[in-house]
Chain A
Amino acid sequence: MSKLVIREEFCKACGICIEHCPPKVLGLSNRVNSKGYNSIELVDEEGCITCGFCYLVCPDLVIDVYKPEKKKGE
């Protein structure tokens, strides 16, 4: 499961999340949704720090954020 669950149908490609992402791991994809927008995608899964800034600034409820649970002994 990905750290970010992105609902591409909801995205309007305003780019606010891409601008605010601290590690700059978000970008626009080549896929076009039914409204005609290129939705966002998580370009670098490893680089995502699950800070949730993208969720906070998104006006269209596109992104849900999940944090990987730490394994024992880590």
Chain B
Amino acid sequence: MKPVYLRPQSMEDRITHYCPGCHHGIIHRLIGEVIDELGIRGKTIGVAPIGCSVFIYAYFKLDFVVTPHGRAPAAATGIKRSLPSDRIVFTYQGDGDLASIGLAEIIHAANRGENITSIFVNNANYGMTGGQLAPTTLLGQITTTSPYGRKIAVDGYPFHIAELMSNFKGVAYSGRFAVYDPKKIISARKAIKTAFKNQMEGKGFSIVELLSNCPINWRVSVSDSIKFVKENMEAEFPLGVFKGGE
């Protein structure tokens, strides 16, 4: 028997705390695969956010720093600048963390062209705190703090991070991907690999936005949540590379 697909070596043998069907697990695995592929396990440092993924340090055989709400890019800047330049530093952030609370930090890190990698998981609500409205919530989407659906007059428009980031001169790579089917997962892995490679080559700031689901807080089944990402989220947040590329 020849192995075709085996779990990444850089991941711990531990059951995750994520809800059944949550895309966080897939994104964790993609990062693990890329770290294995590039052979950078011993010199990679992750920066965890606040949110569901705050326990990411428990699932990787890597060094991790957990930062206060949204401050991951600021901490990553410090780590990257103070350690020898062969260290790889990445942040893993959700949309409440990156697009709302930590918007200043991410914009300034991008504008300075810090040589770090950001993995941004967009699931259109605040997952850990029970599904409140986030900047990335779709128009008309019902959350606990927008019980009649998101309205332009009250809450404004959904926030497009990947497009915003592509406008900064310091940004080497900005793209948006999804992980709901095998084809999309393979292209997302390629994007994450490019983002890590850019850092190894010293090209500057790279960000990969990944559309994710949240079946529990959207109050739908797993297959309906995947359908929602496919039909509604992709219509609002078009997939693609906005800056940089292969």
Number of A-B contacts (CB under 8 A): 77
Residues A69 and B2 in contact, CB atoms below 8 Å apart: yes
Per a CB cutoff under 8 Å, which of A10, A20, A64, A66 touches B182? A20
Residues A61 and B25 in contact, CB atoms below 8 Å apart: yes
Residues B4 and A59 in contact, CB atoms below 8 Å apart: no
A67 at the binding interface (Cβ < 8 Å):
yes
B150 at the binding interface (Cβ < 8 Å):
no
Residues A66 and B22 in contact, CB atoms below 8 Å apart: no
Residues A56 and B3 in contact, CB atoms below 8 Å apart: no
Per a CB cutoff under 8 Å, which of A9, A12, A14, A67 touches B4? A67
Q: Taking chain B's interface residues, is the majority helix, strand, or loop, or is none over half, making it mixed?
A: mixed
Residue numbers in B under 8 Å from A52 (CB-CB): 4-5
Output the least CB separation between B85 and chain A (Å).
32
Residue numbers in A under 8 Å from B182 (CB-CB): 20, 53, 56-57
Residues A67 and B26 in contact, CB atoms below 8 Å apart: no
Residue numbers in A under 8 Å from B3 (CB-CB): 64-67
Residues A65 and B222 in contact, CB atoms below 8 Å apart: no
What separation, in Å, do the CA atoms of A69 and B24 have in the docked complex? 33
| CB closest chain-B residue, reference A13 | B20
| CB closest chain-A residue, reference B19 | A12
Residues B20 and A1 in contact, CB atoms below 8 Å apart: no
Given contacts A14-B20, A56-B182, contact A64 B26 (CB under 8 A): no
Given contacts A66-B4, A67-B1, A67-B2, contact A59 B18 (CB under 8 A): yes
Residues B185 and A16 in contact, CB atoms below 8 Å apart: no
B80 at the binding interface (Cβ < 8 Å):
no
Given contacts A19-B223, A20-B181, A57-B185, contact A37 B20 (CB under 8 A): yes
Residues B1 and A60 in contact, CB atoms below 8 Å apart: no
Per a CB cutoff under 8 Å, which of B11, B25, B26, B222 touches A15? B222
Output the least CB separation between B242 and chain A (Å).
25
B16 at the binding interface (Cβ < 8 Å):
yes
B186 at the binding interface (Cβ < 8 Å):
yes
What separation, in Å, do the CA atoms of A62 and B185 have in the docked complex? 17
A29 at the binding interface (Cβ < 8 Å):
no
A residues touching B (Cβ–Cβ < 8 Å)? 1, 3, 9-10, 12-16, 19-20, 35, 37, 50, 52-53, 55-61, 63-69
Q: 18 more A-B contacts (CB under 8 A) besides A15-B21, A57-B181, A57-B182? A: A12-B20, A16-B226, A35-B15, A50-B4, A56-B182, A56-B185, A57-B185, A58-B25, A59-B21, A59-B29, A63-B5, A64-B6, A65-B6, A66-B3, A67-B1, A67-B2, A67-B4, A69-B2
Pairs A-B, 5 closest by C-beta atoms: A59-B25, A14-B21, A12-B20, A55-B5, A14-B20
Chosen A-B contacts, 23 in total, with CB atoms closer than 8 Å, are A9-B15, A12-B21, A14-B222, A15-B21, A15-B222, A15-B223, A16-B222, A16-B223, A16-B226, A20-B181, A37-B20, A50-B4, A55-B4, A57-B26, A58-B26, A59-B21, A59-B25, A61-B11, A63-B5, A65-B6, A67-B1, A69-B1, A69-B2
